[in-house]
Structure 1
Amino acid sequence: MKRFLITLACLCGLSLAACSPPPTPIALPATITPAPSASPTSTATPTVLSTNTPTALPTSTRTPTPLPCWQGGGTLERTSLSTPLLKLPMEVVVYLPPCYAEMPQHYYPVLYLLHGQNYTQEQWVRLGVPELADRLMGTGEIPPYIIVMPHDRLWEDPPNTPFDEAFLQVLLPWVDSTYRTVPDREFRAVGGLSRGGAWAIHFGLHDWQLFGALGGHSAPVFWSDSPHIAAWLDTIPPESLPKIYLDIGEKDYLRDSNDWFEAQLVAHNVPHEWHLYSGYHEESYWQAHAEEYLRWYGALWKLP
């Protein structure tokens, strides 16, 4: 935390070159089958529900002397990663926050966002995530972080697909070696919508040592994962449980699976945030809530 505050102090000064601490995160402004249904009682009217204490949304953290590049927005980089684990290269879109190139001494948290089935790595781009990130980071409403959006072209559930191996063994190391990241679970989150949300739940619980938070947006649980959820929740040390955010539309056809997973979290006393909104399983729903998602992830790395 001391390093984190040193970085902020440097940014507030007129000369960035006068401060060069060690690498620290900066604090500037086919159909998925739902898991077996054991859902809690449905809420008749769309509501926003929370279990335990939700993570607060960030307040403004504007720097007194913002750099001009903050208003220029972030940048998108597109590449593909070849690996023997996959028959075809993994296509990836990476969002770099404003001032990334102009501030080479700074290191950033990373959010991995996974798309839905029948879509590609461009889905989150089409939903407006880069523009939302530009605005929220440019005004200091959320801290800057890197967003990585990979393509999962395989529609099998784990363990019948090598996507999870490629994601963990190829993508994550590549991101940490290519970009200025903070390679620590507390500064790494994974989220996704629909099938991508099922992967976020899988990675966040099965590979909890790598991720400090997970977000499931209209997310079911993989059939193959549902028998293991309880054991995973019991295995993770209480102090290491990832922060969890769930949301779903009232009329979403995957709601039974989502409700079942939320009931498991309640039964195991796992702190989490769960929202039930009006809406269906469709892009207009995710687009309407994309800003809320980015704010929640950004709040993970906000200075106290």
Structure 2
Amino acid sequence: MSDWLPPGLFVYGSELAAAIGGRLGRRLVGDGQAWIDMPRRLGTADVPSVPVPWGNGALCVDLGPDDVETWEGFAEVHRDEPDPEAVAVAAQEWRLPVTPYRRLPAASSGRLGAPAVNEPIGTTSIDGAKVVDLTSMWAGPLCTELLGRAGAEVHKVTSAARPDGLAGTPMHAELNAHKTVVDLDLRLAADRRSLDQLLASAELLVTSLSPRALANLDLLPEQLCARHSRLRTMAITAFEPDAPECDWIAYGTGVHASAGLGWLDDEPRAPAYSYPDPLAGLHAAARAVDQLAGTAPPHQRVSLAGAVAPLAARAACALTRDARTDGNSHG
């Protein structure tokens, strides 16, 4: 397994954790590096999907077990297309989690410095707030676990028929330690009604489903407002709502690739594990606390791509400095 991770990752994660610690208390949040390095700390890291050379670049093909046959058929149809960007767009139409490995420009308009989560004066109490957790894997469960540690009453909706991809691992146990598990299969009408009953008394719904999946389940904010006018929502997605990729399916490695952080050297590189997930989870937790406190808009969307933007901006600045230094040394 590759041990490579973007430079500055743990410093940035520590800044995020400190910002959230200002809301919930440092003791509850803990150390940012510990949350980011969970797969290696707990021995649950998988071999990441390696870059797939394609035409004049590379693709991140981050398939689930149900995607393999579809990908094989897709790849055969598009094997003569040389542009990874065009292939990724076409793959998304097949609902395949495929993204291009992009090169990070030497100059970037991305945000620099500290993450955009303002630290309030004093801590915020969310003790007893009822939160419904409709997330899986890492980003969403980290967000709701931090809320649970701070005293929120978190109801984790999962399905024995379609378990979380981390189920049975030490990581899953740590990310869901402060939650009440509710077994619901949302493919069933009766279980969807049970979820709606749960939402009737909830203050916040946290999801990590795609916008298309949320719409199919009547869980978009505009769909929920008529039934639960007081319910706040936090959606964790792969990309920002105003991005061309806003509806794309992607996981952390795919966001790593598309953000340019996978091509800082002469060739594309996969990360040791999906580090965009904990960054997004920390961002989401900070915003969720503000939502529960009534100091942030009731409906929020946090993306993995938005969470890594400051990290990409810092990497771009480093590339620019290196280029200038190299140019001066040869001047």
TM-score interval (norm. to shorter): 0.3 to 0.5
Please, what TM-score do these two structures have when normalized by structure 2? 0.33
Structure 1 or 2, whichever has the larger Rg, is: 2
- Quick check: which one's helix share is greater? 2
Please, what TM-score do these two structures have when normalized by structure 1? 0.35
